[in-house]
């Protein structure tokens, strides 16, 4: 790969995918998928051209991965929401790499509306969700479209497991 930024982005996407698959118990100790046909496996998405469908599919989430120094979280969140819509997924998240830190400490950002949908699907009050997943709120100005919620990637793995469990319980 001749573009170093593309190579770094691909490596970050793979690291996020591998971390989530390990955290959810979907791989063996060598990192091989236990059941390659399992729809719950975390996968890097194929590039779709103009109608991008996100970097990683972790049903019910589309995940947009960012390995950049400067953050633009509200813009990334809007991008993720568009890509989730393109892919037909109900939820989106952005995973931003933290410099000189392990993959599990990466920051996962959600729009406030996505965070509300997550809490509603789990039947969880705000205070319980904040405690359980270590959520931090960021409010930028009076435009609520720029507000977001952040948790670690390690906490996101727990949240994803809980959402999938709640979804299975309903069906």
Tens digit of pLDDT for each residue in 13-32? 999 999 999 999 999 999 99
19-28, 31-40, 110-119, 133-142: range with lowest mean pLDDT? 133-142
Q: For the chain, percent helix, then strand, then coil, each to nearest 5?
A: 45, 20, 35
| Predicted local confidence at residue 45, as pLDDT | 87
Report pLDDT for 169.
Answer: 57
Evaluate if residue 171 carries a pLDDT over 50.
no
- pLDDT of 69 higher than 60: yes
* Residue 136 confidence class, pLDDT cut points 50, 70, 90: very high
Is the pLDDT at 65 greater than 50? The verdict is yes
110 vs 7, residue with greater confidence: 110
User: CB-based contacts of 102: which residues, under 8 Å, 6+ apart?
Assistant: none
Percent over 90 (pLDDT), the chain: 78
Residue 5: pLDDT band (50, 70, 90) is confident
Average pLDDT over residues 97-101: 92
Compute the distance between CA of residue 49 and CA of residue 10 in angstroms, rounded to an integer: 16
26: left (phi over 0), alpha (psi -120 to 50) or beta: alpha
Bridge partners of residue 93, in order along the sequence: 63
Name the least confident of 7-11, 65-69, 72-76, 118-122.
7-11
What's the Cα-to-Cα distance from 70 to each of 66, 81, 85, 96, rounded to whole Å? 10, 20, 26, 10
* pTM confidence score: 0.92
Give 141: exposed, middle or buried? Use CB within 10 Å, 0-12, 13-18, 19+.
exposed
């Amino acid at each position: 790969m001749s573009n170093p930024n593309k190579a770094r982005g691909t490596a970050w996407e793979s690291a996020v995918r591998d971390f989530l698959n390990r955290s959810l118990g979907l791989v063996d100790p060598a990192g091989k998928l236990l059941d390659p046909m399992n729809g719950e496996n975390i996968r890097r998405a194929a590039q779709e051209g103009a109608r991008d469908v996100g970097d990683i599919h972790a049903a019910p989430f589309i995940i947009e991965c960012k390995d950049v120094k400067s953050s633009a979280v509200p813009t990334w969140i809007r991008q993720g929401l568009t890509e989730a819509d393109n892919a037909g997924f109900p939820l989106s998240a952005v995973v931003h790499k933290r410099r000189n830190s392990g993959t599990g400490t990466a920051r996962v950002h959600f729009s406030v509306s996505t965070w509300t949908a997550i809490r509603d699907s789990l039947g969880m009050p705000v205070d319980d969700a904040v405690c359980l997943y270590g959520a931090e709120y960021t409010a930028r100005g009076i435009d609520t479209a720029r507000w977001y919620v952040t948790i670690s990637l390690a906490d996101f793995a727990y949240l994803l497991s809980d959402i999938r469990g709640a979804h299975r319980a309903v069906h």
